[in-house]
Chains A and B, each alone.
Chain A
């Protein structure tokens, strides 16, 4: 009997505490924004083959916790809830629905993958939830903005990046014979298309194109074909282990192109170190790539204040995290820009105010982005990062070369 009395009084007490809150709160704020918190969500592969990419979500979360410890944004903490999708777009849809319908997030932020974000784009635009700083260089985020105005990317597009390589080749070797290895999906094909666009009338100088399927195991035969084309410029538009294999097989088959380019998302220090085979593979030396973030693994930035901040955040908020992990840094860079936009969105941010702030970014001092690169948007320009700097692999690390360049559309 006493148990029932206790239970009854407890529920009355709960009701008394809860009711004033329920009736007293102002109805103005959008979902996900309370007096003390802004809840945002996203998906990332914590399982499966692409799980290393989840560093972008983990790095972003660490940066938000760092901001929260310093008072948050206008007195509100930012909580970033990311769910695992195993890099399967079907599960991206399920997890995103959970974030929107159950957790009632303010916005979807930093979800990883092209197909994954394509899968949720119509849904998010339909229910009016912003899909921001998509972790993919697919050109369609900006190109199809009139249909999907709530979706926005962050990093330079693959087509823009490849056009930089095209310009660089034409400047260095006007009569180059170019061989291309690319992944047979939207990502690889956009890089190839960008290269052709950049070469313009000289696209015929691509003497050989070889593609591989992302689920295949080995690309030796493709490299052999590229070698037999007697090309003197090699465009390595492969990802992960395939990018490594490309360097290893080029070396074993004795192919010595004068210039080699590696696409930016593949060109992590880890990939390049493995491809260098402990210094025995000289094919990596002098390889060029585009960069827009500072590389935490490069000694060039050892004394850089942004990298110092990065390291202190990793040590404090990512237990057992590697301070050389470039994915963490990429996540932090976009989290920095997101906080920036939130500050611009007013005292009590709404989704429409946030979208407006997203189109008014002008960051010259993002500590994680290379010096000279501005994170900039406007009503007509929905691509936050569109500058890059070439970098050259020197035995053990990347070294920036030349000026900061603007990627063409």
Chain B
């Protein structure tokens, strides 16, 4: 959100956005609701990445790894732990370490905050040493994490299920997937619509939290670190502390997104959280506009729909068949990304801020 809009206008925009999201499923198809649920998941992950990269200026190319931590936390808890994960030998250490009361599985909703916390702690733990690295070196270190993640998951196949992954479909703790219906207060919805409401409800709460946190002293400190580390340090801001906290908070968001991703896919495997995912999030954040919250939806839409450009059902058939050649969707992705960055160098958020500047300037001059 541009700092130049008055608070009331920001709150009004937020409420309008929330109302629009709540009503949207009435106008779209069931599968479109599923697609927008995934957009919501990317929204949360990009929002988190924006905290550390956009507001604190620390580039992370490894947020897919924190999504993986969250996703696997949820998947393992929902499925009921090592015993339920396929191909696991009886009597191994993992089995003995796993508490009995978790063996029946944990309700998916409860695993979401746990996944966020576990990922957040992982983020803090990683951030403590890594954030002493300057700019580019930090980016490389985080990218290393992203690349290593699938291997690490495979290595611990006793809890992660290895390459075969963990199947959640059919688990009694996964809400609504098997019966394809969920009872909400007042009505019954499909699994897809349930996913939509779940992700966007969480996304809106997390957006409000991010907004509040970033407009406090903490947020100002982060921006100070981003704009000049020397100036920030000389004003008494502990660089390591704020960077680490920002990283932890951001990893918490990624963990929530990863957890929702596992629930929506009803399946996890090392390939679901590949290094490309981390890059896609950075691209989404850049398109959304680093340091702005207003462009996030566009960034998330961009990541989801451009990744699935060859599977879109609303394109003219000629274009669709042209996209159905191996390699062409990758090329389209690249070209569109270059165009967006040329036309909107500060992302959608930056573009919106520039668009509204004449208006907000006038508001300011009138009030002063």
A residues neighboring B (CB under 8 Å)? 45-48, 51-52, 54-55, 58, 82-84, 86-91, 93-95, 97-98, 101-103, 115, 118-119, 122-123, 126-127, 184-186, 213, 215
| B267 and A98 form a contact (CB under 8 A) | no
| B311 and A97 form a contact (CB under 8 A) | no
Instruction: Return chain A residues, CB-CB under 8 Å to B325.
Output: 46, 58
Interface residues of B in 161-205 (CB under 8 A from A): 162-165, 167, 169-170, 177-178, 180, 192
| B164 and A54 form a contact (CB under 8 A) | no
Taking CB as reference atom, which chain B residue is nearest A45? B326
For the complex formed, measure the closest distance between the CB of B290 and the CB atoms of chain A, giving whole angstroms. Answer: 26
Instruction: Return chain A residues, CB-CB under 8 Å to B147.
Output: 215
| A98 and B269 form a contact (CB under 8 A) | no
Q: How many angstroms between the C-alpha atoms of A89 and B274 in the bound complex?
A: 11
Q: How many angstroms between the C-alpha atoms of A115 and B161 in the bound complex?
A: 12
| A46 and B167 form a contact (CB under 8 A) | no
Q: How many angstroms between the C-alpha atoms of A84 and B328 in the bound complex?
A: 11
Would you call B276 an interface residue if the criterion is a C-beta within 8 Å of the partner chain's C-beta atoms?
Answer: yes
* A101-B271 contact given A46-B328, A122-B169, CB 8 Å threshold: no
| A126 and B165 form a contact (CB under 8 A) | no
Q: Interface code B317-353, partner A: CB below 8 Å = 1, 0 otherwise?
A: 0000001111111100100000000000000000000
Would you call B70 an interface residue if the criterion is a C-beta within 8 Å of the partner chain's C-beta atoms?
Answer: no
| A98 and B266 form a contact (CB under 8 A) | no
Interface residues of B in 278-324 (CB under 8 A from A): 307-308, 310-311, 313, 323-324
Q: What are the 10 closest A-B residue pairs judged by CB atoms, nearest first?
A: A84-B310, A102-B31, A90-B272, A51-B326, A83-B311, A90-B265, A185-B163, A119-B267, A122-B169, A54-B326
Q: How many angstroms between the C-alpha atoms of A126 and B168 in the bound complex?
A: 13
Q: How many angstroms between the C-alpha atoms of A43 and B20 in the bound complex?
A: 33
* A115-B164 contact given A51-B327, A89-B269, A98-B31, CB 8 Å threshold: yes
A93-B266, A94-B308, A118-B164 provided; 13 other pairs, C-beta below 8 A?
A: A46-B327, A46-B328, A48-B330, A51-B330, A83-B310, A84-B308, A84-B324, A101-B30, A102-B31, A123-B169, A126-B178, A186-B164, A213-B151
Selected from B154, B265, B307, B328, the residue in CB contact (under 8 A) with A119 is B265
| A95 and B311 form a contact (CB under 8 A) | yes
Taking CB as reference atom, which chain A residue is nearest B330? A47
Instruction: Return chain A residues, CB-CB under 8 Å to B96.
Output: none
* A90-B164 contact given A46-B310, A84-B329, CB 8 Å threshold: no
Most chain B CB neighbours (cut-off 10 Å) among A48, A94, A184 = A94
| B265 and A94 form a contact (CB under 8 A) | yes
Instruction: Return chain A residues, CB-CB under 8 Å to B330.
Output: 47-48, 51
Q: How many angstroms between the C-alpha atoms of A302 and B151 in the bound complex?
A: 44
Taking CB as reference atom, which chain B residue is nearest A102? B31
Instruction: Return chain A residues, CB-CB under 8 Å to B29.
Output: 102
* A88-B178 contact given A115-B163, A119-B165, A123-B266, CB 8 Å threshold: no
Size range of the interface on B? 35 or more
Would you call B261 an interface residue if the criterion is a C-beta within 8 Å of the partner chain's C-beta atoms?
Answer: yes
| A186 and B163 form a contact (CB under 8 A) | yes
| A89 and B272 form a contact (CB under 8 A) | yes
Instruction: Return chain A residues, CB-CB under 8 Å to B264.
Output: 94
Instruction: Return chain B residues, CB-CB under 8 Å to A98.
Output: 31, 34, 311, 313
Selected from B165, B178, B324, the residue in CB contact (under 8 A) with A118 is B165
For the complex formed, measure the closest distance between the CB of A325 and the CB atoms of chain B, giving whole angstroms. Answer: 11
Q: How many angstroms between the C-alpha atoms of A213 and B157 in the bound complex?
A: 14
Q: How many angstroms between the C-alpha atoms of A91 and B267 in the bound complex?
A: 10
| A184 and B31 form a contact (CB under 8 A) | no
Instruction: Return chain A residues, CB-CB under 8 Å to B324.
Output: 46, 58, 82, 84
Instruction: Return chain B residues, CB-CB under 8 Å to A83.
Output: 310-311
Would you call B150 an interface residue if the criterion is a C-beta within 8 Å of the partner chain's C-beta atoms?
Answer: yes
| B311 and A184 form a contact (CB under 8 A) | no
| B311 and A89 form a contact (CB under 8 A) | no
Would you call B38 an interface residue if the criterion is a C-beta within 8 Å of the partner chain's C-beta atoms?
Answer: yes
Taking CB as reference atom, which chain A residue is nearest B323? A46
For the complex formed, measure the closest distance between the CB of B56 and the CB atoms of chain A, giving whole angstroms. Answer: 29
Q: How many angstroms between the C-alpha atoms of A184 and B35 in the bound complex?
A: 33
| B192 and A97 form a contact (CB under 8 A) | yes
For the complex formed, measure the closest distance between the CB of A318 and the CB atoms of chain B, giving whole angstroms. Answer: 10
Selected from A91, A115, A123, the residue in CB contact (under 8 A) with B165 is A115
